[in-house]
């Protein structure tokens, strides 16, 4: 079912709230909440994997920062404008 009839009904609610506008707004809100929940459920495996990868990347970065020889090399490269 296209969303535009609900959008038109919801747009009419600006002038004054009545039972029809309230019902149309609730219907639109319910459809959006249901769709957002469906999207979140579909994206959960990808989101979980991405969060795990980001944590691993942060741990790797922290390990690199704790290496004084690497930090010295990075400082020298930056001072010499090496890219």
Q: Which domain holds residue 20?
A: 4-79
Instruction: Supply the pLDDT for residue 25.
Output: 87
pLDDT score recorded for residue 68: 94
Angle at 11 between CA 7 and CA 14, to 5 degrees: 155
Question: Do the beta carbons of residue 24 and residue 10 sit within 8 Å?
Answer: yes
Res. 7: pLDDT tops 80? no
Residue 12 DSSP one-character state: G
Burial class (CB in 10 A: 0-12, 13-18, 19+), 24: buried
Q: How many domains does the chain have?
A: 1
Average pLDDT in the 69-74 region?
Answer: 94
pLDDT in tens, 15-68: 556 777 888 889 999 999 999 999 999 999 999 999 999 999 999 999 999 999
3-state secondary structure of 15: coil
pLDDT at 78: 92
């Amino acid at each position: 079912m296209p969303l535009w009839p609900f959008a038109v009904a919801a747009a009419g609610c600006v002038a004054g709230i009545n039972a029809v506008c309230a019902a149309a707004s609730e219907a639109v809100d319910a459809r959006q909440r249901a769709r957002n929940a469906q999207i979140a459920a579909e994206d959960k495996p990808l989101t979980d994997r991405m969060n795990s990868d980001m944590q691993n990347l942060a741990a790797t970065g922290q390990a690199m920062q704790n290496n004084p020889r690497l930090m010295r090399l990075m400082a020298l490269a930056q001072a010499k404008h090496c890219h």
